[in-house]
Amino acid sequence: MSSLLPLPMGYEILDILVVDDNPTDAELTLRALRKAGLGQHLRWAESGTEALDLLRAAGAPGAAPHSLPRLILLDLKMPGMDGLEVLQSIKSLTALQRIPVVMLTTSSEPADIDRAYALGANSFLVKPVELRQLEAQVVQAGAYWMLANRPPH
């Protein structure tokens, strides 16, 4: 797990968790979010297992407050545990299931889209090739889920 911003001791504030096995894609996504000023606290998990370990620890009773992310950007095709498995685990855990999960992937296959929604994905975005478009997309999704959307209590 790589923390891009230093956190004060004892605090584990997390706004957005980006799960992507591709370091390039992760860097582009994180850059877009930072550039838009969305989420002071971003994390990158480079595998499904790493993401789930982080989330389970943050959601466990007694964990520091605000340590659960307010938004998860999840890649679909990853070696080992893929995005759909991660999604399924998140949506089956009471502590995690209310966190909005946005699939951010290169696949535009209708079958993938259907499967992701069937497993409870909150939205499905196809990564564009162009950085400007990717930035616009990531920022829109972040703004919607972090600022505009009212989560259940």
Residues near other proteins, by CB under 8 A: 22, 24-25, 27-28, 31, 77, 105-111, 127-132, 134
CB 151, min distance to other proteins, A: 31
Pick between residue 132 and residue 150 the one whose CB is nearest to other proteins: 132
Our CB check for other proteins shows the closer of 26 and 99 to be 26
- Which residue, 57 or 131, is less far from other proteins as judged by CB? 131
Nearer to other proteins, 126 or 143 (CB): 126
99: its two tokens: 């966190």
Minimal distance, residue 131 CB to other proteins, in Å: 4
Distance CA 78, CA 99 (A): 21
CB of 111 to other proteins, least distance (A): 8
Instruction: State in angstroms the smallest separation of the CB of 130 from other proteins.
Output: 5
CB nearer to other proteins: pick between 83 and 142: 83
Q: How far is the CB of 108 from other proteins (least distance, A)?
A: 6
φ, ψ of residue 57 to 5 degrees: the values are -65, -40
Say how far apart CA 9 and CA 46 lie, in whole Å: 24
Name 103's bridge partners. Answer: 74, 124
Buried b (16+ CB within 10 A) or exposed e, 123-140: ebbebeeeeeebbebbbe
Quick count: other Cβ atoms within 10 Å of Cβ 80?
10
Gap between the Cα atoms of 17 and 12, Å rounded: 12
